[in-house]
Homo-oligomer: A and B are copies of this chain.
Amino acid sequence: MAMISQKAKYALRALIALARAPQSEPLVISDIARVHRIPKKFLEQILLDLKRQGLLTSKRGKGGGYVLLRPADKITYGEVLRIVDGPIAPLPCLSITAYRKCADCLDETNCETRQVFAHVADATRKVLDQTTIADAVAMPRHELLAS
């Protein structure tokens, strides 16, 4: 089940890159795309989404680019995933941000599937809503032991 989309991977990778940029110096799409192996036009869309949701700001023209609008430790994985991949819950009836009744279950309170996956959703959210981009930036970098 439950694969995270390529789009989400790209989004997170780009955000980490932005968080690493010294002094919130603006980064250009082309650079991020090239350095982090992300299709450029695809990345444009992604960054635009993130901007529209208030995570980023941008400057046009020469010397322009993208900058984080908040400190990296205030941007959670959960937030990013909800923007690019939609609700985190594994069932529409379990989403807190976008609840929708399950079409094929008529008795929601007695639905066993719902009860079990409520635990899954909780566990997932506990991780994703507490991990931030700053955590990712701070992660230990293992050396690649050559030869």
Q: Which residues of A contact B (CB under 8 A)?
A: 1-6, 8-9, 12-13, 16, 37, 77, 81, 85-86, 88-92, 104, 106-107, 109-110, 112-113, 115-117, 119-120, 123-124, 126-128, 131, 135-137, 139, 141-142, 144
| Structural contact, B4 and A4, CB atoms closer than 8 A | no
User: What's the Cα separation between A2 and B92 when bound, in Å?
Assistant: 11
Nearest CB in chain B: distance from A137 CB, A: 8
Contacts of A8 in B (CB 8 A): 1
Question: Quick one: which of A12, A86, A106, A127 has the most chain B CB within 10 A?
Answer: A127
Contacts of A115 in B (CB 8 A): 136, 139
| Structural contact, B1 and A81, CB atoms closer than 8 A | yes
Asked, given contacts A123-B126, A139-B115, whether A2 binds B90 with beta carbons under 8 Å apart, the answer is yes
Known A112-B136, A112-B137, A116-B131; further 5 A-B contacts with Cβ < 8 A: A1-B88, A13-B113, A37-B106, A77-B116, A115-B136
Partner of A117, one of B4, B13, B116, B119: B4
Partner of A4, one of B1, B5, B137, B141: B1
A sample of 17 inter-chain contacts (CB < 8 A) reads A1-B81, A2-B85, A2-B88, A2-B90, A3-B90, A4-B117, A12-B112, A12-B113, A16-B112, A109-B142, A113-B136, A115-B136, A116-B131, A116-B136, A119-B127, A119-B131, A123-B127
Chain B: which residue is nearest A115 at the CB level? B139
